[in-house]
Amino acid sequence: MNNQQDGGPLTLRDVAAAAGVSLATADRVVNGRPGVSEKTASKVNEAVQRLGFRPLAAAAELARARSWRFGVVLPRGSNRFMLDIADHIRAQADWFRARRIAVEIIETDVFDADRLAAELAGLPGRFDGVAVVALDHPRIRVAIDDLVDAGVAVVTLVSDSPSSRRRHYVGIDNIAAGRTAGSLVGRFLGRPRGDDPGGSIGIVTGSGSLRDHAERRFGFGQVMTEEYPHLTRLVPVEGRDDPERNRALVRRMIADTPDLVAIYNTGEGSVGIGEALAEAGLARRILCVGHELTPATRRMLLDGTFAALVAQDPGHEVRSMARVLHALVSGQEIIAAQEHIRVEVILRDNLP
């Protein structure tokens, strides 16, 4: 019989707790569904035998009443795009509630591999599904794999860790986004005329370890090398998406680079770039292309400080993340076409 010592009926949640895995993992093992390592499945089966658990006749009713816990790990700080992601998660409250999903936003320093890995290490047992803005770093890969081994469904959000065993990536094709930015810069500047050497392009990036930024730089460099070899790319400088850091970096860039003709920002903190250009009297004289539509970048598009933005829809990404995690924990199908996130180009002329 499915009896606990207090006389209440045993549930699948009791099995999950005894095995030290998530409810979703226990459900997959008990119902013979794939996606669980042999080691974890053995833990669940041992707990089933030890507790004397048998599926109840009312299993269908219990399944309808099942609840889930999702954790979303986002960067701590003033990154407006990530704040928009958090706002869209909160705006999905009714959708989550209708599916008995409790969501917790966890903020940490995603630029610091040690801190991010430590945060992820504390999540097994707390959540059935986790979405994380990931660093492409060995410690993060191991931390994600440990979560998966513990039976947690893991998806990466915006920035991927493709060498990990995460179940899905929710975000744009960042190489394509970088190539798009490269084409915009090259086409806006045009081909060299006469003896014009072309000039230098400054690159401001958030972190060398964030996969989305690295892929954008790679795509940007591909286009520059292939189609605009007369333009010189400066060594990227890292501002951690912080406006004040970016402001200081661009001040130095302006002072050190007399032939600076353009700046490409792979991430956030564009307002600092605009301020540095304005202080030097170079706003609208040096071409700027960046990423993501925020109140600050909207203003800079309108006043001409930035010529174009390569953007992604944070609302679509949050809805996709929610659908994918729910599908993973409940054994439903993921509809790939529905979860494709488009790369968008925004100019002053087509501002939404």
Average pLDDT, the chain: 92
54 pLDDT exceeds 90? Answer: no
Q: Tokens in use for 10?
A: 């045993």
Query: Tell me: the pLDDT tens digits for 260-300?
Result: 999 999 999 999 999 999 999 999 999 999 999 999 999 99
With beta carbons less than 8 A apart as the criterion, state whether 153 and 328 touch: yes
Q: Note the pLDDT of residue 296.
A: 96
In the chain, ranges of CATH 3.40.50.2300 domains: 68-168+315-339, 174-311
CATH 1.10.260.40: which residues of the chain?
A: 12-63
pLDDT at 196: 66
Q: What is the CATH number of domain 12-63?
A: 1.10.260.40
| DSSP-derived pairing of the beta strands 101-108 and 68-75 | parallel
Query: Is the CB of residue 26 less than 8 Å from the CB of residue 15?
Result: yes
Q: Where are the alpha helices (DSSP H) in 56-170?
A: 59-64, 80-91, 93-98, 113-121, 138-149
Give the residue-averaged pLDDT of 120-134.
97
pLDDT digits (tens, 9 = 90+) for 324-335: 999 999 999 999
Architecture of domain 68-168+315-339: 3-Layer(aba) Sandwich (3.40)
Average pLDDT of span 13-36: 87
Helix or strand holding residue 131 (H, E):
strand 129-132
H/E run at residue 201: strand 200-205
User: What is the DSSP code (8-state) at residue 159?
Assistant: S
Domain formed by 174-311, architecture: 3-Layer(aba) Sandwich (3.40)
Alpha-carbon distance of 239 to 271, in angstroms, equals 12
| CB-CB contact of 75 with 133 (8 Å) | yes
- Confidence class of residue 58 from pLDDT cuts 50, 70 and 90? very low
Q: Which letter does DSSP use for residue 152 in this model? A: -
Cβ–Cβ under 8 Å, residues 188 and 240: no
Residues 208, 185: Cα–Cα separation, whole Å: 21
Cβ-based neighbours of 261, under 8 Å, separated by 6 or more: 189, 198, 199, 200, 201, 231, 286, 287
Average the pLDDT over 96-120 and give the result: 96
